[in-house]
Structure 1
Amino acid sequence: MQLSYRVRSGDTLYKIAKRWEIPVESLISANLLSSPYTIYVGQRLSIPSGAEGLIAYFSSRGGHDDLWLFNPRTGANRPLTNGLGASFSTPVWSPDSRRIAFAGKNGVVYVVGVTTGSLAGIDQLDEGEGGVLDWSPDGRKLAYTKRDRILIYDVATHEAHSIQRPGATDVQWFPDGARLLFQAPDASGISQLYRIRTDGTGQQQITRNTEGPLHNVRLSPDGAFALYTTPGVSISIIHTVELATGRVYEVKGGPLAKNYFPEWSPDSMHIAYSATAFEEGRGYYSQIRTVGRRGDNDRVRAVSDCFATPVSWSPNGRKIAYLSGCTEQDFADEMWVVDLRHPEPIRWLDGIRITALQWSPSADVERPEKITYFSPVYKIRLLYPSHWHRVNDERYEGPDGFFQVSAISAEADLGQVCRGEAFHPLRPYGSQPRIIKARVSGQEACFILPSKDQPAEMKGQSALIARYPRPVVIGGTVYPYFILWADRGHIAGLSSTLAFVP
């Protein structure tokens, strides 16, 4: 049953404030209730919300950690990867919202094309490295740190250069694209913020910190301020730094001095963050708060039942997405959004483990034509139409076609294997299938195309058989050959994107 409140009186305000555990005075002072509207309590969003852009998030909804996209306008979800994420992975959008970078399984840094479905692994980080990936303003380069170096990688030319800087972390681009911000220890070993040119010259120290380490460094979109948390995890206080003057401002924060995941608003004027709180009988939970960049006007906007939650601003800066649904400090299984103009948090997703999220910078993001499929079992990757859906780990299909993958264990040569599949006693390809020799992804291969008398229930099934560069072992059995089944209209296109992976 849908529950709703019609906001008309102070009495209703108190009911809403109690329901969402938001101080009623903050609702009134924020002037959020200047006109009547309806608040929907605890309901999943069932109609388009008017929200812009897409939300990238990591979830194990497909059985393993992967990158997914959620469309707030339609409620649609789709995966961008298959088996490549990790529990620590965080999506990082390029400024034009065309690509997403993340550090995934085994520390590999990936770049995913949102509209093309392309996927590239560009580097591998050591354990504990790569806390921050940051795109250049033109969306062409990535900056990150690895082994006491600042790395700058050009995703167009696949060229990289490095700046030697021991202890550097949290590297980020200034809006001019010519300078970088980063954290590193000074000569006394104390954590400081620095700026440096992308060619490694002109290093300048920004802060004069004399206390604890600086974490979660974030440069404001306009390049005028930076923020950080200090000194650690058990106590985490947010500070901002006005870069022109070096003046530092402290954010008072939540009741327990546990303030996490601070993020700048798109206009650089506010910060959203998660502040841990505690109540007898309820335990730990978190407040979703916003504050001005000089520590002013700190307000509670919503609450989450997680100890802490990442937060992300909508492209227009009017909404904040966050996670909830934690039980006993486990991972979240809900995604919520709060509109800063109205006190009605709305649940968008539930029932799936979610570990990280980030809203796209652009409001308009095109739907990709193709999506990457990756199988860690069969050691292959290919692109398939984005409107097809997953049937199981090996099969995807849509109204206009399908594909399925497997492997063949045989000691025979490729020609014999192709003939054995083509002329199977059950005649899945009809009585006179054609076998065409080919090379796919640099490997010896063959296509099997059906004859006209193929049974209609086979839906035009065709096949590609290719020799693996190195036989794969699955369940203790050695498989020298890979096989792809697909409808005749898509077999060639799918095969052209096939790649064998280690």
Structure 2
Amino acid sequence: MQYFYIVQPGDTLAAISERWRVSLTSLVAANHLNSPNLIFVGQQLSIPPGVFRYRVKSGDTVYSLSQYFRVHPSIIIQNNQLKPPYTIYVDQLLFIPPGMPYYIVQPGDTLHDLAIRYHVITNGNRNIELLQHVNQLPSPYIFPGMWLQIPYSPPGGNDKIAFTASQNGNYDIWLYHSKDGTIIQLTNGIADVFSVPVFSPDGKSIAFVGRERLLYVIDLENDRLSTIDQFHMNDDLHIAWSPNSSTLSYTTRNQIIFYQLTSHAAQSIKQTGATNVQWFPNGSEIVYQAPDENGISQVYRILVNGTERRLITNNTNGPLHAIQLSPDGDFLLYTTPGASISLIHTIELSTGTIFALEGGPLAKNYYPRWNPHSQTIAFSATAYEELGYFNQIRTAEKNGEQETIHALSNCFASPVTWSVDGDKIVYLSGCQGQEFASEIWMIDLNDPVPIKLLESDLTIISLNWKP
């Protein structure tokens, strides 16, 4: 449910956004405000997910913190289960939300107005039925003083998002439907913590590596599961589809494998240490990472028949990870050097020019993904480690410019995936500490309000939007 902050004397939207580490753009959009300067005392503002944590400093009291955050002391007391005399301790980490998870009905309010104002919209229509259901209202009639929970509404449409999740210790591939927010389980205990569902470009199949490192393909149209191959213990588990959806490529046993699904024939290119195979859009050439003769990580391109291998990078530093070719084949991105420090770079293949993304404040930038138009990269940047674990959902242009923070997740890092039209980003949140996520969120870059798509008792690991 959405949290609501009551505007206090002296408040400005800029101060509120800074207090909760929320994007000012998202705050304006979340409340359908015509101007960021036009707020009034007593107004109830929906606050998008931010940093609702505070680490106690010397001299802090519940009362002083309630004054600083401009919330009632009971909010701090109740959310942290404090007992009289409500003593707090230096370095104690408190959860301080920006208000209460309900809206207080004002004179003149209607469910129709509230649905528009707070984005309870499905398929472009106000989802009055959802508001009634969540609040157990027998009719659309509401009256001043009533407390209403304002839910997040499924966006509608026919989009589908595949994700890997665990329930009772068993990992499986699931499918989320944007039409009504429902999910269905596609497998039965054969996925694993490292499984990433990868759609074929035509959207008809999903490939993933599951338990025992077996490579599976789900035929969505015929509801059929096939086992393709088995990876070795230390193999790279990245898999990629050919542009025409007929062939899977992956690396195992020091080979690059091309497996043709209809004929079940396989071809291979011998290459020690190869990882991260990616297809050029022409379907006749790939890129991959492999060590050079000096053992230094490089990126190469080669025809699928194993000829005309060419070096792309001239790396002299650490290993290159997360190799990704842009959908148009003109740019390449990679991260380096590792996990504790992860920086994102892009290369313009025609010139060899390298661009660096600024990234987050801690230099921990993960899960970069090209948007379908090859112009923008979305990624997760870890931030605010002193307050727990959070990451910023960021985008940057392919040359590293116009880097923007769009949303905040309360996970150390979050996989991201783009909608087919390149306007929306889906990411994970709902983590407890460094644990895995339990929520799926979406933000529309044209209407930047974070929308919760799914809140569940599942442990969610990875996700991908259906083409």
TM-score normalized by the length of structure 1: 0.66
Aligned twin of 2:264: 158
Which amino acid counterpart does residue 325 of structure 1 have in structure 2?
Answer: G
Partner Cα distance (2:2, 2:307) in 1: 61
For structure 1, the residue ranges without an aligned partner over 5 or more in a row are 362-502
Matches of 1:291 and 1:26 in 2, distance apart?
18
- Could you tell me whether the CA contact under 8 Å between 2:26 and 2:448 is conserved in 1? no
Change (3 A) 1:141 1:211: same
Q: Structure 1 residue 23: deviation in Å?
A: 3.9
Is 1:262 equivalent to 2:341 in the alignment? no
CA distance in 1, matches of 2:406, 2:156: 20
Query: Which of 166, 171, 184 in structure 2 is aligned with 1:78?
Result: 184
Amino acid across the alignment from 1:250: A
Distance 1:329 1:240 in 2: 29
Q: Percent identity?
A: 49
Q: Are 2:277 and 2:288, in contact at CA under 8 Å, matched by a contact in 1? A: yes
> For residues 207 and 20 of structure 2, what CA distance do their matches in structure 1 show?
35
Shift of 1:114: 1.5
Partner of 1:22: 22
Counterpart in the other structure of 1:45: 152
Do residues 105 (structure 1) and 211 (structure 2) align?
yes
Q: Is the 8 A contact 1:214 1:229 kept in 2?
A: yes
CA distance in 2, matches of 1:39, 1:197: 52
State the SS of the aligned residue for 1:17.
helix
Measure, in 2, the Cα distance between the counterparts of 1:289 and 1:232. Answer: 19
Q: How does 1:314-393 map to 2 (within 5 A)?
A: 314-350=419-455, 351-361=457-467
Is the 2:336–2:344 contact (alpha carbons within 8 Å) kept by the matching residues of 1? Answer: yes
Residues 250 and 295, structure 1, Cα contact 8 Å, conserved in 2: yes
Does the alignment pair 1:180 with 2:259? Answer: no
Partner SS state of residue 106, structure 1:
helix
Give the match for residue 225 of structure 1: 331
Conserved in 2, the CA contact under 8 Å of 1:183 and 1:193?
A: yes
Per-residue CA distance 1:424-476 (angstroms, 9 max, x = gap): xxxxxxxxxxxxxxxxxxxxxxxxxxxxxxxxxxxxxxxxxxxxxxxxxxxxx
Q: Aligned-residue CA RMSD in angstroms?
A: 2.7
Q: Residue 49 of structure 2 aligns with which residue?
A: none
Q: How many residues align?
A: 355
Q: Contact 1:43/1:346 (CA < 8 Å) preserved in 2? A: no
Using a 3 Å threshold, how does the CA distance of structure 1 residues 5 and 235 change in structure 2: closer, same or farther? same
Whose Rg is larger? Answer: 1
| Partner residue in 2 for 1:283 | 388
Preserved CA contact (<8 Å) 1:55 1:357: yes
Q: Deviations over 1:73-103 (max 9, x none)?
A: 2111111111110001001000010000000
Q: Residues 305 and 358 from structure 1, CA distance in 2 versus in 1: closer, same or farther, beyond 3 angstroms?
A: same
Identify the residue that residue 140 of structure 1 maps to in structure 2.
246
Match in the other structure for 1:299? 404
Return the letter of the residue paired with 1:65. Answer: Y
Alignment correspondent of 2:274: 168
SS at match of 1:143: strand
Amino acid at match of 1:315: V
CA 93–33 in structure 1, closer or farther in 2 if over 3 Å, else same: farther
CA separation of 1:203 and 1:359: change in aligned 2, threshold 3 A: same
CA contact (8 A) 1:44 1:348 kept: no
From 227, 233, 250, give the equivalent of 2:356: 250
TM-score, normalised relative to structure 2? 0.71
Work out whether residues 4 and 39 of structure 1, in 8 Å CA contact, stay in contact via their aligned partners in 2. Answer: no
Does the residue aligned with 2:362 lie in a helix, a strand or coil?
A: coil
Which structure has more strand as a fraction of its residues? 1
The amino acid that maps onto 2:24 is V
CA distance in structure 1 between the partners assigned to 2:12 and 2:451 by the alignment: 18
3-state secondary structure, aligned to 2:449:
coil
Q: Is the 8 A contact 1:43 1:347 kept in 2?
A: no
**Aligned residue in 2 for 1:238:** 344
Structure 2 distance, partners of 1:157, 1:169, is 25
How big is each residue's C-alpha offset from its partner over 1:390-412, in whole Å with a ceiling of 9 and x where there is no partner?
A: xxxxxxxxxxxxxxxxxxxxxxx
The answer for the alignment partner of 1:310 in structure 2 is: 415
Structure-2 separation of matches of 1:326 and 1:21: 18
Residue 257 to residue 112, structure 1, CA distance change in 2 (3 Å): same
Q: 1:12 to 1:115 in 2, by over 3 A?
A: farther
Structure 1 pair 20–136 and aligned structure 2 pair: CA distance change class (3 A): farther
Q: Name the CA distance, whole Å, in 1 between partners of 2:381 and 2:2.
A: 30
Unaligned runs of 5+ in 2: 37-115, 121-148
* Residue pair 1:4, 1:38 contacting (<8 A) in 2 also: no
CA deviation after TM superposition for structure 1 residue 14, in Å: 3.7
Structure 1 residue runs of 4 or more that deviate by more than 2 Å after TM superposition = 1-6, 10-29, 32-46
1:145 alignment partner, SS class: strand
Q: Residue deviations 1:150-191, cap 9 Å, x none? A: 000001111101000111100011000000010111111111
For the residue of structure 2 that corresponds to 1:130, the secondary structure is coil
**Cα separation, 2, equivalents of 1:129 and 1:285:** 30
